[in-house]
Copies of this chain bind each other. A is one copy, B any other.
Amino acid sequence: MMYDASVPVFVHFLNGIAALLRKTEAHVQAKKLDPNAFLTARLFPDMFTFTKQVQLACDFAKGTSARLAGVTNPSHSDEEKSFDELHERIRKTVEFLRGLNKDQFADAADRQITFKAGGKEQTLKGADYLSQVGLPNFYFHVTTAYGLLRHNGLEIGKADFIARF
């Protein structure tokens, strides 16, 4: 249950971001645009760029799953500067997620999870950590990445976000 509510969901939406990246690349090529118009887009000057939103979506998927599985959270440095590099960031995140197995999540719902938020250490049981921290933060960054593409005129719809129906 904790596995089903986390790993395959993260993989699904990360693959959704990869599909959005491919649509963005095709649009950039067709209109001869500067890729940075999308990669460095922000909704407001003190918000994160599109690239950082993708990196953070990857990190919340990876960190949440690692903590629930009780394994080391691998560090992925934030150096992506192109669509290709973002695809690679997503690929290695998905590879990590797919390397986890259900058994590692058997006691995850009740296990105490320690994590950093707002600059200090916090502890929650796994089920609350997933519901109150992992999922909302993940969707926050996926949705903001989607919103940045929409705001900059990419012709996509919510079906591209949900990517299921």
Contact = CB atoms under 8 A, between A and B. Distances in A.
Contacts of A118: 159, 165
A10 to B, nearest CB: 10
Contacts of A150: 43-44, 47
SS of A interface (majority): helix
Contacts of A101: none
Contacts of A146: 140
A47 B157 CA distance: 9
Interface residues of A, number: 38
- The count of identical subunits is 2
Contacts of A4: 127-128, 131
A165 B117 contact: yes
Contact of A137 (B44, B47, B122, B162): B162
Contacts of A133: 162, 164
Given A1-B109, A43-B147, A12 B135 contact: no
A117 B157 CA distance: 14
A13 interface: yes
10 contacts: A1-B127, A5-B5, A13-B136, A43-B150, A43-B151, A118-B165, A135-B139, A140-B158, A143-B144, A144-B147
